[in-house]
Chains A and B, each alone.
Chain A
Amino acid sequence: MQTVIQLTLTSLQIGAVYILFSLGLTLIFGVMRIVNFAHGHLFAVSALLVAVMLSWLAGMGIPILPAYLLAVLAGVTASAALGFIIYVFGFKYFQRDMVGSFILSIGLVLLLDGIFLEIFGGGVRAVPEILPGSVEILGASVTQQRLFLCGMAVVITAALYWALTYTKLGKALRAVSIDHEAAMLQGVPYSRLALAGFMIAAVLAALAGALIAPISIVTPVIGADYLIKGFIAVIIGGLGSIPGAILGALFVAVIETVGSFYLDPTSATITIFVLVIVVLQVRPKGLMGHG
């Protein structure tokens, strides 16, 4: 019983990050029909800045919690700025061009990889603990930081879901992702929405990065692993579908956790891969895909 609870909690922790990550990927794909491999770098910028700022601010004697909030603010701002730059000078010209945008994003991946290595160095950064201590849930022990991460992920996901369902912007984003021409005929300003969708996705990635920084080792290539898993989650769920992304992310997280526990991480990764292929045989556009 204790194992089951422990595994469930771990799945939820990993799943929380995958959800934030794949929500951004699926949002960008839905609105702009592009595949953005540079998404992992928006995540990495934020995680790196949080790690650097936190050590620096803590070194100046600022208490750890305000320091963390300041660092998160800096990380999210930096990611949003980077997202804005790559949208305005790049992806803006490649909307609805899957191959072109993908190639551009691969170029950005290489370029940003190189730049991050130059700026931050290849070393591993440890981030000081924000919320020390752990709690017992039904006999399984969880550190407070991880609990905080899960809670925040749930709050952010719920907020996004609410915004997409009830606000005018959210409705317009969904309309565009179903049929952008029909949406434009209804007076939806497509190009402004594309920017809005891209920036929301960038902020989601930044928040995921800021949340993961304290409970993980931060390196300039931290985005790559999450990117692969995030994309697998989105393929399983169906590109462009929000519930699909959540479902896919949880699915990947459960298999990864259970597989790593009973077998080993390698077999878990390969199992995920085989399952993706099986899902695509039955539903070539993912579980909830329609586009």
Chain B
Amino acid sequence: MADTLRLPYCAAGIAAAIGASLLVSDPYVASVVNLVSIAALIAVSLRFVMLIGELNFATAAFVGIGAYTTGSVLTIWDWPFGIAMISGGIAAAAVSVVFGYVTLRTKGPYFLLIGFAFTEAVRIIYSKSMGLGGNSGMVGIFPPIAFDPWMPTFVMSIAALLIFVLYVIEKSDFGKIFTAIRDNEDVARTVGLNILFVKVACFAIASFAAGVAGSLHAVVNNVISPGDFSFLLAAFALAYVKVGGEDNIVGPIVGAILLVVLGSYALGLGGHEHIFYGAAIVLAVLLMPEGVTGLLHKGRDFVMARGKRNAD
């Protein structure tokens, strides 16, 4: 078990990332680090549901639910910061259990399109709820003042912790059922597994992560509005997963880092965000179907094979 987890690598990676985030002092770099952490968490959550073979476009809705929950808890009820962060995840997970229980009986295109419709419906509800600020959204969602200098470290630690937990679940025996369902649901059912329960569990875990990502988004930006949580958010997350590669959990993280950093650079040059992300997705699916990590693996295998041949 410990062997398949490759714990030393994980620990080194997380420690290096958090260590590096401590060095960030420039506000622009700090904002990019925050964006990358949140984007990576959302992308990993999206990929987590892809383990059961479904494309979950409701991710955007759950990020929104997390953000709005944290926003309400902080600005309307004035509860402590820690509770506000957790409640975002819990609210998203709770909604996802109901939504998942009802919709996960459908599959493939139907589930995908229902998730898409759900995202749009939830977004309309925000914009019509005056208590949530209507179309202009909520303002003044601040973390405690003492947190301010440590924001990138805080955001990255939470994101890294959750990504690590999702990774452990994926590698556990329970996680193996996910891939079994993706490969052949009927076979998994014949050995007595409760498919719907496993699917809903997977969906709820992923939505918890998405909800916390939303909470982080709310406290990092201080302002949220319905427009932040359209289906485009899920589309961007999909771009991270696709460009990075979906075979293992490093893929979405690599994709998020690459695209967010390049994207904010392109914005600085006056480029168009949509064109940039769109072109990235189109080129990624056409030219490297397994993403950057898949390409690196292939490159490594190629070099190894050549080395072997030379040695023979």
B261 interface hit (Cβ, 8 Å): no
Which residues of chain B are near A266, meaning CB under 8 Å?
Answer: 124-125, 128
The B interface is mostly helix, strand or loop, or mixed, namely helix
Q: How many residues of A contact B (CB 8 A)?
A: 40
From the candidates A93, A273, A280, name the one contacting B121 in the complex (CB within 8 A).
A273
Asked if A284 and B285 make an inter-chain contact with CB atoms under 8 angstroms apart, the answer reads: no
When distances are taken between beta carbons in the complex, the residues of chain B under 8 Å from A90 are 282, 286
Interface size of B as a range: 35 or more
Q: Tell me if A189 counts as interface (CB < 8 A to partner B).
A: no
| A121 at the B interface (CB under 8 A) | no
- Residue from A107, A108, A114, A285 whose CB has the most chain B CB atoms within 10 Å: A107
Please tell me which stretch of B21-29, B192-200, B273-281, B303-311 contacts chain A, meaning at least 4 of its Cβ atoms lie within 8 angstroms of it.
B273-281
Expressed in whole angstroms, the minimum distance between the Cβ of B185 and any Cβ of chain A is: 13
> A124 an interface residue at 8 Å Cβ cutoff?
no
Q: Is the Cβ of B275 less than 8 Å from the Cβ of A228?
A: no
Q: Is the CB of A104 within 8 A of B285?
A: yes
Q: Which residue of A lies closest to B118 (CB)?
A: A273
Contacts of A239 in B (CB 8 A): 109-110
Interface string of B271-296 (1 = CB under 8 A from A): 01111111111101110010000000
Chain B residues with CB under 8 Å of A285's CB are 106, 110
Interface residue ranges of A98-136 to B (CB < 8 Å): 98-100, 102-104, 106-115, 117-118
Residue of A103, A235, A273 touching B281 (CB-CB under 8 A): A103
Do A284 and B279 have beta carbons less than 8 Å apart? Answer: no
A231 at interface, CB cutoff 8 A:
yes
Within 8 A of B (CB), among A253-270: 266, 269-270
Answer whether residue A35 sits at the interface, using C-beta atoms and an 8 A cutoff.
yes
**Do residues B274 and A235 form an inter-chain contact, with CB atoms below 8 A?**
no
For B110, list chain A residues within 8 Å (CB): 235, 239, 280, 284-286
A198 contacts chain B at the CB level, 8 A cutoff: no
Interface residue? A212 (CB, 8 A)? no
Q: Which residue of B lies closest to A34 (CB)?
A: B109
How far, in whole Å, are A106 and B115 apart by their CA atoms in the complex? 15
The answer, among A98, A104, A118, for a CB contact under 8 Å with B109, is A98
With A114-B275, A269-B121, A280-B103 as known contacts, state yes or no: A107 contacts B285, CB within 8 Å: yes
Contact A102 B282, CB 8 Å, known A110-B235, A276-B117, A277-B103: no
Most buried by A among B109, B124, B125, B274: B109
List B residues at the A interface (Cβ < 8 Å).
Answer: 55, 102-103, 105-110, 112-114, 116-118, 120-121, 124-125, 128, 232, 235, 238-239, 242, 272-282, 284-286, 289
* Other A-B pairs, 5, CB within 8 Å; known A98-B109, A111-B281, A232-B113: A99-B55, A103-B285, A111-B275, A111-B279, A266-B128
